[in-house]
Amino acid sequence: MKLTFPWPDVPFGVSDVVDIVATALLVYYLLLLIRGTRAVPILFGLAVIAGLFSLANFLHLLVLATVLQFALVGTAVTLPIVFQPELRRLLEQLGRGGMIARREGNEDAQTLEETIATLAHAAVILSRNRIGALVAIEGATGLREFVESGTRLDARLSVELLLSIFTPKSPLHDGAAILKNNEIKAAGCFLPLSENVLTESHLGTRHRAAIGLSEQTDAVVLVISEQTGVISVARTGKLSRELDDETRLRSVLLACCRASRGGRPQRVARRVRFGRRPVADHAAAGEFVNPRA
């Protein structure tokens, strides 16, 4: 059977096959490079704008097409700034000769319930001893750029390891620990601070960092106050309060992690996110409140 092409006058040889394969490999490695970072949802957003621009041109919506065209041009100018961490990582890998990115395992060593139970037990111990802590649990959005800002551990999660990390005078106690599955990926990490003004004066830098990361990603962030020992959980830019009871803390963390990973939200997660009661009742139930209200 003879193959025919819509461009019969254009020669198609071995060099063209090599060209297509090389381009496909380049795109594949670029996708591996941005996998697990905030660049993925940004690219989806750009794809949506480009799709709307094509639809506007097809329907001859001149005003909308012009606005979207300027938006795409402005976005293209800011891409080097937006993707600065990914571009730096690409150049570093090229300099080391390591274009093939190491694929991280997706399988959990233990169930999510066991991971949350370990974290909740360690948090209660730290709270009783008035030891400040900041722990981010990765959701659907990757936190690799924040992992690279700290000390890489890739260690199995345990109560003893968490206590040793946040013990005062420990080299890593000032930063955040980042969890993925049942591993502590890194400790001593720098998290983005919330740019919004917090009205409650007792909320310190740890709380601002927890809220800031939850505003930019879907991570669930646990924070323990060094002054009061109060345990809080930040999600979607909101902060829960008064979660010193281990059972209640475990249920809230479990519900929030399931919701952030795209699972079916439980009743606790719905109460945490959509509660309508006064702030005092929210605090008593361990629900999320807006610290800027």
170-225 pLDDT per residue, tens: 888 888 999 988 889 999 999 988 876 565 656 788 888 999 898 888 889 999 98
- Band (pLDDT 50/70/90 cuts) for residue 97 is low
**CA-based radius of gyration for the chain:** 23
Which CATH topology does 112-289 take? Answer: YojJ-like (1 (3.40.1700)
Residue-range domain boundaries for the chain: 14-96, 112-289
d(CA 250, CA 120): 6
- Band (pLDDT 50/70/90 cuts) for residue 42 is confident
Report field, pTM of the whole predicted structure over 0.85: no
Which of residues 154 and 1 earns the better pLDDT score? 154
Joined together, the tokens standing for residue 51 give 């799709």
- Band (pLDDT 50/70/90 cuts) for residue 112 is confident
The percentage of the chain sitting over the pLDDT mark of 90, rounded to a whole number, equals 24
CB burial class (10 A; 0-12, 13-18, 19+) of residue 262? exposed
What's the DSSP call for residue 173? T
Q: Which residues pair with 189 in a beta bridge?
A: 176
**Range with the poorest average pLDDT among 130-139, 174-183, 232-241:** 232-241
Supply the pLDDT for residue 142: 80
Return the beta strands (E) in 157-243 as ranges: 176-180, 183-189, 220-224, 231-235, 238-240
8-36 pLDDT per residue, tens: 555 667 787 888 888 888 888 777 766 66
